[in-house]
Chains A and B, each alone.
Chain A
Amino acid sequence: MSGPVADPPWDGPAVGRAAALLEVRNLRVGFGGQDVVHGIDFEIAAGERLALVGESGSGKSVSALSLLRLVQNADVSGSALLEGRDLLQMSERQLRGVRGDEVAIIFQEPMTALNPLYTVGTQIGEVLQLKKGLTARQAQVASVELLASTGIPEPARRSQAYPHQLSGGQRQRAMIAMALASAPKLLLADEPTTALDVSLRGQILDLLSDLQRQHGMAVLLITHDLNLVRRFASRIAVMERGHLVETGDVARVFAEPQHAYTRKLLASRPERDLAEAAPAVGESVLSARGLRVSYPVPVPGLRGWFKKGEFVAVQGADLDIAPGQTLGVIGESGSGKSTLALAALGLLPFKGSLCVAGTDWHEARRSGHAKALRQRIQVVFQDPFSSLSPRMTVEQIVGEGLLVHQPTCTAAERRERVIAALADVGLVDDSSQGGGWLQRYPHEFSGGQRQRLAIARALIVNPELLVLDEPTSALDVTVQKQVLALLQRLQRERGLSYLFITHDVDVIRAMAHEVLVMKDGAVIERGPVEQVLAAPRHPYTRTLVQAAI
């Protein structure tokens, strides 16, 4: 073991436990001479459920995938004994026999992991023919059975479907069926639920649990989500920057974490630190009545030449945000919550009324005051890697709002305001960090820093309302906590209102005063956050809340 970390505390002596199925010793992975995994040791017993946990860049996926030499251009050393045979010493040919046979993998994004040109049944059948030597006909029958075992309705019909014809959850089930086709002894599940909606995550995890018990296989679950670990795994291994800092039984580690990093991870649930919910005084910052947003969709056939169909993304939504308060909007992908955000920003055509500080968007457009309205409502998007123009410097990005809304500002004043805005969001140009932040490009910053830049860009024009569209979903949990704390502080200091859009119940619990639950474009439940989350009335809200525990 190298690095600053002492030997991890093992959960009891190996004696008395089942002999390890996979024994990894001193595994090192490097790219171009630079190590990203610094010699880790762990083992998985047959039939055991081990979770490998860490934030992005901790080396958890690389460690797992390099066991099967699936990482390109990586220098792997150490040993990985699968029932006594060293995977890392095998020839490529021997390893091909192991992959997808004794060790199978499920990837994060089933849409890209399945080949779009073949039906799901064909792809599962291919594994059966290759690994089990079945004939095409037998394989077809067997693949339908496998699909049935993963709980896909109408498995015979679904096996004839192409990946794009299935829903996200069904695709992931098909991936699992494919992985199980060869009856593996070890299943590597690389973030198997991250790409799915919250309510589906629990289902997929339960399915994995069931199948794991039925087949008696070992599962190595790679994830950053501690809720999943608690629900699924029996043992946990925590990774930080290429080091394995703690391993142990899930119950023990969650109850008394030994390592500082584990404690930090466990303490990263967002905390509520908000101004009290205040009854609406005066005019609401944002109010909508009967808001309806639709997209044109092409109609097939000859009729499509003459008219367009319509997809209604938001139907009849009413909402009010009081000054200094947060309205949380929660829903799954496709529920229309992001459309609601874009409509509030005046970026989409809509029907009904939508007023920012008492001025309707339609009204403002007609009288040519739309630009003044834009100064009052600003936005922070989810993905900090696509929401900042990669070819502009920090100074240009953050200062752009001043160019538009305060064109009289001189370059020197603008620079001063930019520096102040950056300091406001906790980015202080520190010469110990290399200096010259203003002249840097966004790619030189980490995800959390980039999200702070996006917030600074929005705040520099002094808006009254910030639309936050999943502002922390792309961030690691510890960074998420910091960004949420920043947003709470800004709200207290400046009396900002937020329209906070998220799929994460924990985040909404910490951030919102009022909450709106959306499903299929309709608002199905609303109310103060404590009330809605503690006693959900609508069954869908109940599933959402339960899935988060």
Chain B
Amino acid sequence: MSTPAASVAPSLSPSRRAWQRFKRNRLGYWSLIIFCVLVVASLFAEVLSTDRPLVVRYEGQTYFPLVNDYPETVFGGDFESNTDFLDPFIRERITTDGNWAVYALNPYGPKTLNYFAKAPHPSAPTAENWLGTDDRGRDLLAQLIYGFRVSVLFGLALTFTGVLLGVITGAIQGFFGGKTDLVFQRFIEVWGAMPELYLLIIFSAVFAPSIGLLLVLLSLFGWMGLSDYVRAEFLRNRQMDYVRSARAMGLSSGQIIWRHVLPNSLTPVVTFLPFRMSAAVLALTSLDFLGLGVPPGTPSLGELLSQGKNNIDAWWISMSTFAVLVITLLLLTFMGDALRDALDPRKQDR
């Protein structure tokens, strides 16, 4: 039995103590830092990886190709069309004779076709394309950066909607029980029996594929597993003495759910959070792999994997995509472990 005398100096606020517990898990803490850096970096992908220079100083004038379009004639070219800054001729014009240009760290966008590559496509990693190119001549690193961003944002959104729906439905079933529970359970059984993949195929034929549509469709089916766990937790917790005592205190059902039962029923939610997120990333990847996912042309990890399968000897495609996926999923799992420790106040504050 622990007495207050035994634990030391917990005069910090509860959230500070939770943060302390999170930090104590070194693996999770560093995973969080690395993951945040990666996500933030990918949010600035348009600056880090683009085929347009950030700033050009040409014959006494400053240009910002990142925000404005300039015809080639501005920089001494022949055509009225938009400038291709990867063209060796243009590149030479804007970087010599006192002119200068600041190119992005990785001077390719996700859709940029490098017409001036020295090696045939798909090309192995070179000094120009650090991770090589895919079979259409697009830079792999740029694709991975943009694909990672799409996957992570999609994963976050899908996890959020899934958890929200799952917790709400689970809470209603578990807390009110009886007929409410019965009706909801039957509904879930019917709903869960719908062939999700066929629906996806049908919908992708009927509507123009888009990320928003995918999010809605996957959310419609993604909440059921979690809802069962939350329901079971609510069924267990609602008959505890502290709920009775809260009722005797005069709290309304809503207050009891929000203040008493929900915080004690979140263990499965938190435990599954990172796994749900990685499952969402994987779902998007596999749908893209099958060609049912994001609209064609959108950079995506699944599409890259499928390219890797079709060009099995271009090992850099499949290996680098695989590495990005593994690292993302690992980071998520490590963070999940630390999060679970942090949110359980019963863990000893050492």
Residues of A within 8 A of B (CB): 56-57, 342, 345-347, 370-371, 374-375, 377-379, 381-383, 386-393, 396, 400-401, 404-405, 433-437, 439-441, 443-447, 449, 454, 457-458, 461, 467
Contact = CB atoms under 8 A, between A and B. Distances in A.
A389 B248 contact: no
A461 B259 contact: no
A347 B264 CA distance: 22
Given A389-B260, A400-B246, A446 B14 contact: no
Interface string B217-244: 0000000000000000000000011101
Given A379-B244, A389-B242, A439-B13, A445 B3 contact: yes
A105 B84 CA distance: 86
B268 interface: no
Contacts of A405: 250
B251 A404 contact: yes
Contacts of A457: 245, 249
5 smallest CB-CB distances across A and B, nearest first, come from A436-B11, A374-B250, A387-B241, A391-B263, A381-B241
A56 B1 contact: yes
Interface of B: 1-5, 7-14, 240-242, 244-251, 255, 259-260, 263-264, 345-346
Contacts of A345: 244, 247-248
Contacts of B240: 386-387
Given A389-B264, A443-B346, A444-B2, A381 B245 contact: yes
A437 B248 contact: no
A379 B248 contact: yes
Contact of B248 (A374, A433, A439): A374
A457 B248 CA distance: 11
B13 A383 contact: no
A445 B346 contact: no
A405 B247 CA distance: 13
A199 B230 CA distance: 41
Contacts of B345: 390-391, 441, 443
Contact of B249 (A435, A445, A461): A461
B4 A390 contact: no
Given A389-B264, A390-B346, 11 more contacts: A346-B248, A347-B247, A383-B241, A389-B263, A390-B264, A391-B345, A400-B246, A440-B4, A444-B4, A449-B3, A449-B4
18 contacts: A345-B248, A377-B248, A379-B244, A379-B245, A386-B241, A389-B260, A389-B264, A390-B264, A390-B345, A390-B346, A400-B246, A433-B5, A435-B9, A436-B10, A436-B11, A439-B13, A443-B345, A454-B245
Given A387-B241, A389-B263, A392-B259, A444 B7 contact: yes
B249 A400 contact: yes
B294 to A, nearest CB: 40
A382 B5 CA distance: 25
A181 to B, nearest CB: 36
Contacts, number: 111
A406 to B, nearest CB: 11
B128 to A, nearest CB: 55
A80 B3 CA distance: 33
Nearest to B247: A347
B4 A445 contact: yes
B245 A446 contact: no
B298 to A, nearest CB: 42
Contacts of B251: 400, 404
B9 to A, nearest CB: 6
A393 B2 CA distance: 16
A342 B243 CA distance: 12
The CB with the most chain A CB atoms within 10 A, among B13, B14, B241, is that of: B241
Contacts of A434: 4-5, 7-10
Contacts of B263: 389, 391-392
A391 B7 CA distance: 18
A404 B259 CA distance: 12
B3 A378 contact: no
B263 to A, nearest CB: 4
B5 to A, nearest CB: 5
A401 B264 contact: no
Contact of A386 (B11, B12, B242, B249): B242
A429 to B, nearest CB: 9
B247 A437 contact: no
Contacts of A57: 1
A439 B7 CA distance: 13
Given A390-B264, A443-B2, A435 B245 contact: no
Nearest to B261: A389
Max chain B Cβ within 10 angstroms of own Cβ: one of A375, A387, A444, A445: A444
Nearest to B237: A389
Contacts of A441: 14, 345-346
Contacts of B259: 389, 392, 396, 400
B249 A404 contact: yes
B4 A371 contact: no
A396 B7 CA distance: 20
A347 B248 contact: yes
A48 to B, nearest CB: 32
B342 to A, nearest CB: 13
Given A389-B260, A433-B4, A440 B10 contact: yes
A370 B250 CA distance: 8
Contacts of A401: 249-250
B248 to A, nearest CB: 5
A396 B345 CA distance: 14
Instruction: Name the residue among A57, A389, A457, A467 with the largest chain B CB count within 10 angstroms.
Output: A389
Contacts of A461: 249
Nearest to A379: B248
Contacts of A387: 240-242, 244-245
B255 to A, nearest CB: 8
B264 to A, nearest CB: 5
Nearest to A385: B241
Given A381-B244, A457-B245, A371 B250 contact: yes
Contacts of B250: 370-371, 374-375, 401, 404-405
Contacts of A433: 4-5
A176 B29 CA distance: 53
Nearest to A374: B250
A437 B240 CA distance: 24
A391 B1 CA distance: 18
A56 B260 CA distance: 29
Nearest to B5: A433
Contacts of B246: 389, 400
B152 to A, nearest CB: 30
Contacts of B242: 386-389
A449 B4 CA distance: 10
A229 to B, nearest CB: 23
B3 to A, nearest CB: 5
Contact of A347 (B1, B9, B244): B244
A75 B66 CA distance: 69
B19 to A, nearest CB: 14
Contacts of B2: 443-444, 446
